[in-house]
Structure 1
Amino acid sequence: MVKVELTSSSVRDELLNQKRIIVNYITYDIIEYLASANVLMCSKCMALGHFKKQCTQTKETCRTCGDQADDMKSHKCSKVEKCVRCGQNHNSSLLKCPVVKSFRSELTRKILQVNNQSSRDSRLLNKNIIFNSTKFPPPPPPKSSALSINPMTVKLNELINKLSEVKDRLVNLEAKHDKFEQFICDKNHYDETIIKNMNDMSNKYMILKKDVVQQNFFIERHENLFCKLLIPMTEDIFTFISTQNQDKKGNSVDADLKCRINRYFVQMKKVTEDKPFSS
């Protein structure tokens, strides 16, 4: 609800008769607003129609219990509410008091009568006025086209400009989206390449691991063959040569050969014990 105050009574009556008003090409319904009349209430005697400064009562009246006292600060109120106007059990300053309501309605009625009388007088006065164009100056020149632009057109132009800006932003956003989508595609392709390379490396690692296990098996097999077959066979050969290098008394025929055979025995023992050779 919007309250409109008018200084011209004729315009007011015309609007009330039309019951509508047009603002910026929009029609609004209007009704007459009659505000309630303000009621004057004395805070000293709690009577209506005057203020405390105009009050003729010597003592002050308690707004709660209704008793009178010389000074309200020293007054001992009974806290029992009693209105000094209607005698009912409510505060004397209550605006809903029947006496206050009756006084306000009567005051409002009188104000309306005065307003209606003034409106009729103004209409009669307007009827008695004879308009003579020669007694009035010519109307002002028309306003420039810049000032007479339709506000709806201005709003539409602003809206079109805003839509153009939104369109440009959407185009930029679409371009950024395409770039981001291309980036995601390239990233997915790169990830697939990395995954493929990792799978290849994993397969090669498994093959290499298998080959290492197989080679270790071959080495262990050859090592067992060397230690369990060739070395004992060589020891038997050296033992046979050592027995052939002795005469009937058990003495060595070739001392140098005996030393070599002993050295070979020591080296073969180190081989079986995983010790390094010595010259």
Structure 2
Amino acid sequence: SSIGHIRVIFKQQNEYEKILYDGRIVIQKLVLDVDEYLPPPKILICTKCNLPGHIKKACQAPYVICRGCGQDKENGDSHTECAIRCQHYGGNHISTDYKCPTIVNFRKNLFHKLKNNTDKLPAHIRMFIPIDCRKSNDSDRILTSSRR
């Protein structure tokens, strides 16, 4: 049988660092390879216009757009049982779905910009690069700030 992933929580920071440095852990006579888990970063998606990259406070949209149907949310309808239709591509998903091509392309472009400008990242940051945001020949899974 194969093991996918195991989550291990350490009480002591030095234990955690030692295991990461060694790259292996023994659990019930099994020697397992160790990788640090870094969750993929979340991106900002505006709750007013449903576009990625900014927040409602900075949004220039003239009205609130329903993320379900893509229509003006202040038009008098309740928008509690909308026919789901993405405002970006007309797909059968809400406009803020992480599978939406608009969101996927935004994430890819953002990671590409960050990889080329690691000095723009806060010091001491490490980010996981999701598979869909890597180039086909790129095995780099972690993005690290060049600032110290």
Distance 1:34 1:107, change over 3 A: farther
Deviations 1:95-115, CA, capped at 9 Å, x for gaps: 221222233344456379844
Q: How many residues align?
A: 113
Q: How does 1:1-279 map to 2 (within 5 A)?
A: 1-3=6-8, 15=20, 18-21=22-25, 28-69=32-73, 71=74, 74-75=76-77, 79-108=82-111, 110=114, 114=118, 115=126, 116-118=143-145
Give the superposition deviation at 1:30.
Answer: 0.4
Distance 1:33 1:60, change over 3 A: same
Q: Is the 8 A contact 1:20 1:30 kept in 2?
A: yes
Q: Is the 8 A contact 2:96 2:103 kept in 1?
A: no
The Cα RMSD (Å) is 4.1
Amino acid at match of 1:15: L
Distance 1:19 1:112, change over 3 A: farther
Which of structures 1 and 2 has the bigger CA Rg?
A: 1
Distance 1:2 1:42, change over 3 A: same
The separation in 2 between residues aligned to 1:93 and 1:121, in whole angstroms, is 32
Give the superposition deviation at 1:76.
Answer: 6.4
The separation in 1 between residues aligned to 2:58 and 2:65, in whole angstroms, is 15
Q: Is the 8 A contact 2:51 2:96 kept in 1?
A: no
Give the superposition deviation at 1:81.
Answer: 2.8
Give the superposition deviation at 1:22.
Answer: 6.6
Distance 1:41 1:27, change over 3 A: same
DSSP-derived class of the 2:56 partner: coil
Distance 1:45 1:96, change over 3 A: same
**Comparing both structures, which one devotes a greater share of its residues to helix?**
1
Amino acid at match of 1:79: C
1:198 paired residue number? none
DSSP-derived class of the 2:92 partner: coil
DSSP-derived class of the 1:104 partner: helix
DSSP-derived class of the 1:53 partner: helix
Q: Is the 8 A contact 2:67 2:96 kept in 1?
A: yes
Distance 1:7 1:85, change over 3 A: farther
Amino acid at match of 2:106: F
Structure ranking higher on relative contact order (CA contacts 8 Å, 6+ apart): 2
Q: Is the 8 A contact 2:20 2:36 kept in 1?
A: no
Distance 1:4 1:101, change over 3 A: farther
The normalised TM-score by structure 1 is: 0.31
DSSP-derived class of the 1:100 partner: helix
Amino acid at match of 2:83: V
* Unaligned runs of at least 5 residues, structure 2: 1-5, 119-125, 127-142
* Unaligned runs of at least 5 residues, structure 1: 123-279
1:242 paired residue number? none
Deviations 1:4-29, CA, capped at 9 Å, x for gaps: 69989xx58x935x422479xx9653
